[in-house]
């Protein structure tokens, strides 16, 4: 069974769970995760919002990660960042929320703020490789900015600096599929951010 079939099967399970218990927050969030992974973003957002209407976050950073991932997938970086910041007020020790905020800030070109978020995420979880890489990209950007000021002829480390400042680094890579959703759950934003 490939990843898409598993997402579809997961979606069917969440639909059944919601038929049995329409107010089950985690079922709404699970359905949102499955829909997002299938590229059905508007439906995913509606499910996430319904889950929050029914039960808030129940103290679970997972709920906030799902919402931030959906907003990021929809290209609503400011809304995703606001979601992370709101979640961090409730869950200040969640390394993934700090890292997600750092990635979003980096994507938005707010390099110094991104660096602060990424450093905090790594204080809480030094083993999260993607946040180590994003911190490296932020430092590279800052070094280039400082070098450019002192030497107008300095060349930018195009690959990483431009990637860090302008790419959709919080989005999953396109894998040759119509919606850019990988069959590998760990390669999707939801898979990476909601796995803990």
3-state SS string for the chain: CCHHHHHHHHHHHHHHHHHHCCCCHHHHHHHHHHHHHCCCHHHHHHHHHHHHHHHCCCCCHHHHHHHHHHHHHCCCHHHHHHHHHHHHHHCCCCHHHHHHHHHHHHHCCCHHHHHHHHHHHHHHCCCCHHHHHHHHHHHHHHHHHHHHHHCCCCCCCHHHHHHHHHCCCCCCCCCCCCCCCCCCHHHCHHHHHCCC
The pLDDT assigned to 186 comes to 43
Mean pLDDT of 169-190: 35
Mean pLDDT of 140-169: 60
The pLDDT assigned to 175 comes to 28
Residue 14 clears pLDDT 90, i.e. is over it:
yes
The pLDDT assigned to 155 comes to 53
187 or 2: which carries more pLDDT confidence?
2
Residue 100 clears pLDDT 70, i.e. is over it:
yes
The pLDDT assigned to 59 comes to 57
Mean pLDDT of 57-67: 72
The pLDDT assigned to 86 comes to 87
Residue 173 clears pLDDT 50, i.e. is over it:
no
pLDDT band at 179 (very low <50, low <70, confident <90, very high): very low
């Amino acid at each position: 069974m490939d990843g898409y079939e598993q997402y579809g099967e997961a979606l069917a399970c969440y639909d059944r769970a919601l038929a049995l218990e329409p107010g089950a927050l985690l079922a709404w969030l699970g359905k949102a995760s499955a829909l997002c992974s299938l590229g059905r973003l508007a439906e995913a957002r509606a499910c996430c919002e319904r889950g929050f209407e029914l039960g808030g976050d129940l103290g679970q950073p997972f709920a906030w990660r799902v919402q931030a991932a959906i907003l990021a997938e929809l290209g609503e970086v400011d809304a995703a960042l606001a979601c992370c910041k709101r979640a961090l007020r409730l869950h200040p020790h969640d390394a993934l929320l700090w890292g997600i905020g750092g990635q979003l800030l980096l994507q938005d070109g707010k390099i110094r703020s991104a660096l602060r978020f990424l450093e905090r995420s790594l204080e809480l979880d030094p083993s999260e490789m993607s946040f180590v890489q994003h911190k490296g990209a932020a430092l590279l950007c800052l070094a280039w900015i400082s070098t450019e000021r002192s030497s107008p002829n300095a060349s930018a480390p195009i690959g990483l600096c431009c990637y860090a400042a302008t790419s959709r680094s919080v989005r999953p890579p396109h894998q040759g599929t119509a919606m850019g959703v990988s069959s590998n759950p760990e390669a999707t934003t939801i898979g990476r951010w909601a796995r803990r």
